[in-house]
Amino acid sequence: MSETSIQVENLSKTYLVGHQVRRERYQSFRETLVREGRNFARKGLDMAAGRQIIQGDEIEEFRALDEVSFEVKQGEVLGVIGHNGAGKSTLLKILSRITDPTEGRVTLRGRVGSLLEVGTGFHPELSGRENIFLNGAILGMKRAEIRNCFDDIVEFAGVSKFLDTPVKRYSSGMYVRLAFSVAAHLRPEILIVDEVLAVGDAEFQSRCLGKMESAARSGRTVLLVSHNLATVQRLADRVILLKKGAIIADDTAGNAIAEFHRVNSSMRDETETAYRISSPNLKVEEVVTRPSHGFVQGSMEIEFKITNTAPTPEPHSFFVILKNPEGINATSHFSKDTDKTFPLDQKSQCFTVSVDSNCLLPGRYTVEAGCFDSSGAILVWAENLGIVEILPQMDSGADFDGRTGNSTQRANWSTNSD
C-alpha cells in the first residue's frame, strides 16, 4: 500500500468582505459622525486583536472552502477542476503554505514545489541564477544538490542568455518557463501546479506535460489545477470537482469530468431559447429526443417543431447542431446532405433527424436548429432548444470504455496477410 503524501481533513477557509451601505437619502452630519465613529472603533478592536482590518460599513463572511477532505497517495496525479470561484486556487495556496486555513488540518509528507502564478517565489530584483539558488535553499536543498540540476533547469527554461538579468525584466513567458523549470527540476516530493501554464506557448506546454508525467512515474505526487479538461484527463489518475468551496465529486478523471459537464449543462437548462438569426414568421420549439438518453454508437432521433405564420410551398432544407458544454460544435446534421427538402406549407410542422450510429462521447449537449430557403440563405437559427444526454454506456450494453477524443465512430476494419 503506497504512502499518503497529502492528507486534508475538514479544511475550511473564510474571508471577511466589507460592503458600503447604499444610502437612499441625504445623511446628516450627526449620522455620518456616528457611522464613522462605529467603524473606527471596530477597526481599533480588530487591530488590537491582530485581525485583518476590513474597509466598509458592513462585514460579510465569505467561505472560500467548506470542510474539504481528501487524501493523495505517493506518485498519484490529482486534478482539481471547477468553475471560477469554486475554491481551487485557495486550496492550492493553503497546501503550498502561502495562506493559513480557518479550520481543519493539512498533513504534507515531503518537500513541496509550487507554481501558482507568474512570479510566485521569485524575487524581482535578483537574477535568474540567484533565484534558482534561492528557491533551492527554500526547499531545503544543499548548494551541491542545486548545482547538480542547475544546467538542466537552464536548458529546459531556455533563458541561458538572460541568466544574470534581474527577473523583473523577463517577459511573462520567460518567467513561467524558468519558474516551472525550477519547480520541476529541484525534485520536490510534491509538485503543485495551477493554471499558470496557460501563459506558455504550445511547445512549452507540451514539454511541461511530459515533465509532469515523468515526475509522477518517478514516484512524486502532482496536484494540477486547470480549465483545460483534456490536459486533466490526460495526466490525472483521479479528479476532484469543487463547487462553491465544497467537493461534489471525487472520482476517476472520466467520471469527474462527466459530472462537471452535467453540472455545467444543468445551469443552462432554465435558459430560454435564443435566436442567432430570427424570422418574423418562423419559430423553432419543442425538441424531443428518442430515446430520452442516447448511448455511445447507438441510434438516436431528434425531433423539433417549426411554427409558421406565412406557409409557403417553396422547398426548404434544415439543420441540427449539437454543442458540448464548452459551447463548441460537437456535431451537425444537414438535410441537404441527403438531398432532402421540405415545404413549409403548414402552420405547424415537426421535423426529425435520425442518426444510425451516434458519434458523440458521454456528456450533455445543447441543441440548435434552423432552416435554409432554396437559395441557401438561413431564415431562422435557434439556440438552446434543449439538452441531449449521452450516457456512459455503449449501444451493445457494455459500460463506456473510457476512450478519449471528441467523438467516436464505427468503421470497417480489414487486414492483408501473405
Gyration radius (Cα) of the chain, Å = 28
Q: Given CA atoms 358, 360, 361, 362 in this order, what sign does their dihedral have?
A: negative
Provide the H-helix boundaries in 246-348.
253-266
State residue 1's pLDDT score.
46
384: helix, strand or coil: coil
Partners of 289 in beta bridges: 302
The Cβ of residue 137 has, within 10 Å, a number of other Cβ atoms equal to 12
State residue 240's pLDDT score.
93
The model's pTM is 0.61
State residue 265's pLDDT score.
58
Domains of the chain (ranges, CATH numbers):
70-266 (3.40.50.300), 274-394 (2.70.50.60)
State residue 25's pLDDT score.
63
Strands 363-372 vs 378-383: parallel, antiparallel or unpaired? antiparallel
State residue 264's pLDDT score.
66
Cα gap 365→331, rounded to integer Å = 10
Cα gap 11→332, rounded to integer Å = 45
Task: For residue range 115-130, list pLDDT tens digits in order.
Answer: 776 556 678 899 989 9
Closest CA relative to residue 400, chosen from 302, 291, 255: 255
Give 28's Cβ-side CA count (13 Å radius): 3
Burial class of 91 by CB neighbour count within 10 A (0 to 12, 13 to 18, 19+) = buried
Count of residues in the chain: 418
For 150-158, which contacts have Cβ atoms below 8 Å and span 24 or more sequence positions? 152/185, 153/178, 153/181, 153/182, 153/185, 153/186, 154/181, 156/181, 156/184, 156/185, 156/207, 156/211, 157/128, 157/181, 157/182
Helices 143-157 and 172-185, packing angle to 10 deg:
140
Q: Which residue has the cell 534558482?
A: 132
pLDDT-flagged residues of the chain (< 50): 1
Backbone angles phi, psi at 5, to 5 degrees: -90, -35
Contact 222, 212 (CB under 8 A): yes
* All three cell numbers of 367: 441543441
* All three cell numbers of 275: 435566436
Partners of 190 in beta bridges: 112, 221
C-alpha distances in angstroms, 233 versus 27, 118, 176, 227?
A: 57, 24, 23, 11
Q: In 291-413, at which residue ranges do the beta strands (DSSP E only) sit?
A: 293-296, 300-308, 312-323, 329-334, 342-344, 348-355, 363-372, 378-383, 387-394
Q: Name the DSSP class of 405.
A: S
Backbone angles phi, psi at 414, to 5 degrees: -150, 170
Task: For residue range 235-284, list pLDDT tens digits in order.
Answer: 888 999 998 899 999 988 878 887 887 776 555 555 567 788 888 889 99
State residue 342's pLDDT score.
92
State residue 183's pLDDT score.
74
State residue 215's pLDDT score.
75
Closest CA relative to residue 381, chosen from 373, 393, 390: 373
Task: For residue range 143-186, list pLDDT tens digits in order.
Answer: 888 888 898 888 888 888 888 999 888 887 788 788 878 877 77
